Amino acid sequence: MKRIHLHVNVEDLDRSIRFYETLFGAPPSVVKDDYAKWMLDDPRVNLAISSRGRAAGLDHVGVQAETSGELAEIAARLKSAAEPTVDEPSASCCYAFSDKHWAEDPSGLRWETFHTFGESTTYGLTGEAPASFVTAATASPASACCGPR
């Protein structure tokens, strides 16, 4: 079963954690100095928030697959949507290791599809987005985690 993913940049992590704990009636399943995540079944969502110096607001949305087969199915649909896509196998991002596929909708909203297969001790690696997928959202090294490299 797939799960909707939302990643929100926040200015005040502690205050935001309190807000989302109250909204969902549950504490985050992961808390780091700059990041928190809820893996909820009601509603079925993976909500991540981070305070990493980016503008506050919605960073990207996505679909989290439970299996590599589900991810392959979603990626195939994305590739048929006639918009640019980027594959990011074995990515280290948001304290996890995942295989990912990225796309942008026609208005520029970034969509991440991914299957997580392990935990990472760091938020992620830094690097540049490939020229084939440089947009306002991915143009700087600060955007390298939670965006294609």
**The model's pTM:** 0.76
**Quick one: pLDDT at residue 122?**
85
User: Residue 116 burial by CB count (10 A; 0-12/13-18/19+): exposed, middle or buried?
Assistant: buried
d(CA 144, CA 139): 9
The pair of structure tokens assigned to 128 is 């540049």
Domain limits, the chain: 3-143
Q: Give the gyration radius of the chain's Cα atoms.
A: 15
**Quick one: pLDDT at residue 48?**
95
> Per-block average pLDDT, block size 10, for the chain (149 residues)?
93 94 94 96 94 91 95 91 88 91 87 92 60 40 53
Q: Which residues are within 8 A (CB) of 67 and not within 5 positions of it... i.e. 6 or more apart?
A: 115
Q: Strand, coil or helix: what is 2?
A: coil
**Quick one: pLDDT at residue 30?**
97
Fold adopted by 3-143: 2,3-Dihydroxybiphenyl 1,2-Dioxygenase; domain 1 (3.10.180)
User: Residue 92 burial by CB count (10 A; 0-12/13-18/19+): exposed, middle or buried?
Assistant: middle
Q: Strand, coil or helix: what is 106?
A: coil
Torsion of CA 113, 117, 120, 123, to 10 degrees: 10
**Quick one: pLDDT at residue 149?**
53
